[in-house]
Homo-oligomer: A and B are copies of this chain.
Amino acid sequence: MAGKREQNREQNRQALIGAVLDSVAEKGISETSVSEIIQRAGLSRGMIHLHFGGKDNLVQAAAHHSSEAYYDGLETLLQTAGDSPQERVEMIVRGDLSERVLNQRNVSIWYAFRGEARNRKAIAEYSDTRDGRLRGMIHNAFARIVREAGTPDASGAARDATHGTLALLEGMWTDFLLHPDRFDREEAARIVFRFLAAMFPAHFSLAGAIRPKQGKRGCNSSP
């Protein structure tokens, strides 16, 4: 036991962070006031100042928490994936588009923070960190694919593939933000894999399933 004191302390900290995220998801950042937060957390007014020194710091901590949760989820998923770079890329794409990660709550929170990112340096940092780590994971996989395939201009191809994949995923998130009802996860995944199949026809197939090892084929006209 870590002492009932410290245990409660941490529990309340988490309650505050959770309340901020709930409020941001439901009402947006501009309506996430101190009163709103403490009401949701069921705690007293002074707690915010006590634990975080002020509302701004609490919001920042919430952004941090959200960012970590996203990345941790993706990393957990990645550990169940095989070693091959194709499998890892596919896992990231499918994970990023899965219900677990891409849902109304997360999207609301993410875009709310993004909107404020330009004016709140601390938040921008976490926004960036998340993207940076994801970028690293994807780039790593593509670098291996490119190396194996012996593509000319290897670093350029890996960079473009990383850039394009991330941009596509980002665009899919926006799509979901604007039209959560008519969003189609399968269609989104299919389009990403179309892009990947175009860049690495020997590694990805249009169906989105990983192409089994075989001789290189250079042709992939429309289905």
- Give A contacts to B, CB under 8 Å: 27-31, 108, 111-120, 124, 127-128, 131, 151-153, 157, 160, 163-164, 166-172, 174-175, 177-178, 187-188, 190-191, 194-195, 197-201, 216, 218-223
From B30, B216, B223, give the contact of A152 (CB < 8 A).
Answer: B223
Contacts of A108 in B (CB 8 A): 118
Picked from B131, B171, B172, B219, the residue with its CB within 8 Å of the CB of A219 is B219
Q: Is the CB of A174 within 8 A of B170?
A: yes
Q: With A115-B116, A170-B174 given, can you name 16 additional A-B contacts, CB distance below 8 Å?
A: A29-B30, A30-B119, A114-B115, A117-B178, A124-B178, A128-B178, A167-B172, A168-B171, A170-B171, A174-B174, A194-B199, A195-B195, A198-B198, A218-B220, A218-B221, A220-B220
- 22 A-B residue pairs with Cβ-Cβ distance under 8 Å, sorted by A, are A29-B116, A111-B117, A111-B118, A114-B115, A118-B177, A157-B223, A160-B187, A160-B194, A167-B167, A167-B170, A167-B171, A167-B175, A167-B191, A170-B170, A170-B171, A194-B199, A195-B195, A198-B199, A198-B220, A201-B221, A216-B221, A219-B219
A27 nearest CB across to chain B (Å): 6
Among residues of B, the one whose C-beta sits closest to the C-beta of A198 is B198
Chain B residue contacts of A118, Cβ below 8 A: 28, 108, 111-112, 177
Copies of this chain, tallied across the complex: 2
The minimal Cβ–Cβ distance linking A68 to chain B, given in whole angstroms, is: 18
Report how far A162 CA is from B216 CA in the complex, Å: 29
Is there an interface contact between B160 and A166, defined as CB atoms closer than 8 Å? Answer: no
Least CB distance from A37 to B in Å reads 15
- Choose one: B113, B170, B191; the contact of A160 (CB below 8 Å): B191
- Identify the interface centre among A153, A194, A201: most chain B CB within 10 Å of its CB: A194
